[in-house]
Amino acid sequence: MKKYLAWCFTVLLAILCLGGCGREEEEIQSKKLHRADAPVYDEKYITVGFIQTGKESDWRDANTNDYLNTFTEDKGYKLVYIDGNSDSGRQVKAAYDLIYQNVDYIIIDPIVEDGWEDVLEFAKQKEIPVIIADRGVSADQSLYKCWIGSDFKTEGVKAAKWLQDYLEENGRKDEDINIVVLEGTEGASAAIGRTEGLLSEIAKHKNWHVLASRNANFTQGEGRDVMEHILWQYKDIDVVISENDNMMFGAMKAMEQAGIEYGAGGGIITISFDALGEAFHMMEEGKLMVSVECNPLIAGIAEKVIKDLEKGREVGKVQYVKESVFTYKNAAQHIGNRKY
């Protein structure tokens, strides 16, 4: 009898263990591979999925290169780079794919703020940490580890404050000032914040008037097209504020074509954002009068976050990058030591 009981106990234990191990195995599988074609990443690397917005600007290229140079195999990373192709739906789908592939971390530069809740919820369920970088998302902060990027509203305020100082210095404080704004992609936090900052300051000046504020999608081509239309419509423009350098380069082409003067030498006052290489040349030439810096070097901070998370440390929820303001007066002095 004793022998029989011992036998029964052993069998029961084996069944329980098998059931338990099976469930565990199932769980691992469901976490690992939801699709037959999902790649299996080498465990010796930390696999980082990076979903970029696209290739809309020089800023974006600098930002992409920064990720490619930071998350390298010799430092122990496998970077899965995905080009969002300026399509927010494609970005969300890519996030699902990365979750199914069970990468270790996901970094997203979201094109627009909205539409991320479900996929972030899913990543959280699957315990894949997500870092939001550059532009933000409207989803609840509990759905991602942290956000790293620029204070876009402050950038907008800085641009308007520069204009105020410039007009004062040039005895134009009380003149009526007609402003044109070229906005970045609709729904993108870089555009939302900059517009908000600009408008909050513009509203403080009764003699400043916004003639037109139009979306040109952060691209040079659209900057040129939109500016062409604006120039047909309005003759008395004092200031063009472009929410990035590339749209301003396009707008400059449109002004040149229309024979309209702009820049430090006289004519339309030119203000933009980013302050990347080409903008410095334009400022040196006096074509661009000011560029509010937007720092694209975010990957190093993202890497630090990942290192901290690997060690089980807490990370700051909101992390701003450092940035400054450059003008046609000081560009020459800084151009030599610019990293982007």
Q: Which residues bind ligand GYE (CB under 6 A)?
A: 56-57, 59-60, 134-135, 150, 190, 218, 244, 273-274, 294
Burial of 120 (0-12, 13-18, 19+ CB in 10 A): buried
Specify the residue, 49 or 184, whose C-beta has the smaller distance to ligand GYE.
Answer: 184
Q: Least distance in Å: CB of 138 to ligand GYE? A: 15
Specify the residue, 77 or 273, whose C-beta has the smaller distance to ligand GYE.
Answer: 273
Amino acid at 119: V
Q: Least distance in Å: CB of 171 to ligand GYE? A: 32
Helices then strands, each counted (H, E), the chain: 11, 12
Start-to-end CA distance of the chain, whole Å, equals: 82
* 268-286 exposure pattern, b = at least 16 Cβ within 10 A, e = fewer: bbbbbbbbbeebbebbeeb
Q: Least distance in Å: CB of 109 to ligand GYE? A: 7
Q: Least distance in Å: CB of 105 to ligand GYE? A: 20
The tokens of 88 are what?
Answer: 């927010």
The secondary structure element, H or E, covering residue 91 is helix 88-100
Cα separation, 48 vs 37, in Å, equals 19
Q: Least distance in Å: CB of 155 to ligand GYE? A: 9
The tokens of 197 are what?
Answer: 């900052």
Give Cα separations from 188 to 113, 224, 226 (angstroms): 6, 20, 18
Cα separation, 116 vs 34, in Å, equals 20
Q: Which residues contact 281 (CB under 8 A, 6 or more apart)?
A: 335
Q: Least distance in Å: CB of 298 to ligand GYE? A: 9
Q: Least distance in Å: CB of 147 to ligand GYE? A: 12
- Whether the Cβ atoms of residue 112 and residue 154 lie closer than 8 Å to each other: no
Q: Which residues contact 319 (CB under 8 A, 6 or more apart)?
A: 146, 147, 148, 149, 301, 305
Give Cα separations from 48 to 121, 130, 306 (angstroms): 18, 10, 9
Q: Determine how many CB atoms are found less than 10 A away from the CB of residue 169.
A: 9
Q: Least distance in Å: CB of 193 to ligand GYE? A: 9
Specify the residue, 222 or 274, whose C-beta has the smaller distance to ligand GYE.
Answer: 274
